Structure 1
């Protein structure tokens, strides 16, 4: 194998690497383009306020939108965990009561309480305590 064959082989491997990098980065660029059209539940102004108060000024609005989506996911996970705690607590309390109440359990409405929110937040490393008295 002479020098020109080795050079051609290196160039071909670089072309493969470039095309592979281009295909690996394509989903990310598509996702960033989709961020421009998506409106997250947490408004950009709220996210910008909290980022500004922490000393971070994002120049790219897509980064701000990405942080808003991450905050939305975080809040959604906490709410879902709290709902699961509420369902477990209500199923435990209804199993000790008569089975006549379980007939309407599909139409049951749930209420977010501190009793359910506290263990859900504890799973994420956030500890909260109720005050000893209310003013």
Structure 2
């Protein structure tokens, strides 16, 4: 009786492993570049956020990354996250300024990141920012 239960458990484990392998293969094929090649490309990549800064915050959080590719991968993810937030803040700024009259025209228009644009962009990612009482 125990052998039948063990066999059924092993079969379910094998089915789960096969399913995960198939999912991983489909992810690798859909990306166009195998995961191994991507990780190898990280060796030559120089992220915007330096490895030392990422390493400092990883160590501070209790994560010890011996492989610099892991640090670069996390730097790349943080860079993408910051880029998405900045892009969303820009879209909020454009929507806000479209209702106002534009004083500057042409190429000399400069954009400034303001808290009133950054706050709703951060809120979309679950980050709530509030001004301290003495700034209100």
TM-score of the two chains, using structure 1 as the length reference: 0.72
- Report the equivalent of 1:53: 60
Q: Deviations over 1:89-110 (max 9, x none)?
A: 111112xxxxxx4771554211
2:50 to 36, 43, 53: 43
CA–CA distance in 1 between the matches of 2:113 and 2:104? 22
TM-score, structure 2 normalization:
0.71
Residue 80 of structure 1: CA displacement? 0.5
Partner of 1:111: 112
Of structures 1 and 2, the larger Rg is shown by 1
Rounded Cα–Cα distance in structure 1 between residues aligned with 2:107 and 2:90: 14
Q: Distance in 2 between matches of 1:73 and 1:64?
A: 14
Cα RMSD after superposing both structures: 2.1
Listed as ranges, the gaps of 5+ residues in structure 1 are 1-16, 95-100
What does 1:1-135 correspond to in 2, within 5 Å? 24=28, 27-94=34-101, 101=102, 104=105, 107-134=108-135
Segments ≥4 residues shifted beyond 6 Å: none
Aligned pair count reads 107
For the structure 1 residues 105 and 86, does the alpha-carbon distance in structure 2 shift closer, same or farther, using more than 3 Å as the test? farther
Which string of whole-angstrom CA distances, capped at 9 and with x for unpartnered residues, describes residues 75-122 of structure 1?
00000000111111111112xxxxxx4771554211001110000000
Greater relative contact order structure (CA < 8 Å, 6+ sep): 1
